[in-house]
Amino acid sequence: MKRSICFLCLASLLALSGCSNAMKKRQEQREKVAASSGLFCEFVSGDDHKDVDVELNFSMARRCDPAKNFTVTSYKSSAEVNGLIYCCSILRKAERSTPAAAKPEAKPAPEVKVPEAKASAPTPAPKAPVGEAAP
């Protein structure tokens, strides 16, 4: 009896690790395709996250390029799990590492020399007509 329980436990652990390995390979494949195509889609579960809008915002902030268009769709999985699926253009690694590439670097204006103006002789004030007082 004890042997059968131990055997069952070992078999279930082996099966779970096999599933885990398959999921890991699938995730790696997904990341490669996303990196090469520039397009990323993800399902945000309403069952796992009661504040699905906040989780959606966090997920999109981590992966999406805010300067490009995206889509968000209400979705129900085959397991009857409600949630949202979003697709967006991802930031390329070069864009992530160099934020200055998006914004041109500010350079000081070149120094301009203005020639000095020479003062001319003062002009006399016009004379007031006869009979009027000067202001």
Close Cβ partners of 71 (under 8 Å, ≥ 6 residues apart)? 86, 87, 88
Weakly modelled stretches of the chain, pLDDT under 50? 6-10, 13-16, 98, 100-101
- Please give the Cα distance from 39 to 24 (Å, whole number): 20
- The pLDDT score that the predictor gives to residue 58 is 93
Q: Residue 22: exposed, middle, or buried by beta-carbon count in 10 A (0-12, 13-18, 19+)?
A: exposed
H-helix or E-strand spanning residue 19: helix 2-37
Query: Helix, strand or coil for residue 125?
Result: coil
| Contacts with 14 (C-beta within 8 Å, 6 or more apart), sequence order | none
Residue 2 has a pLDDT of 58
Q: Tell me the per-residue pLDDT of 58-93, one tens digit each, with 9 for 90 and over.
A: 999 998 999 999 999 998 888 888 999 999 998 766
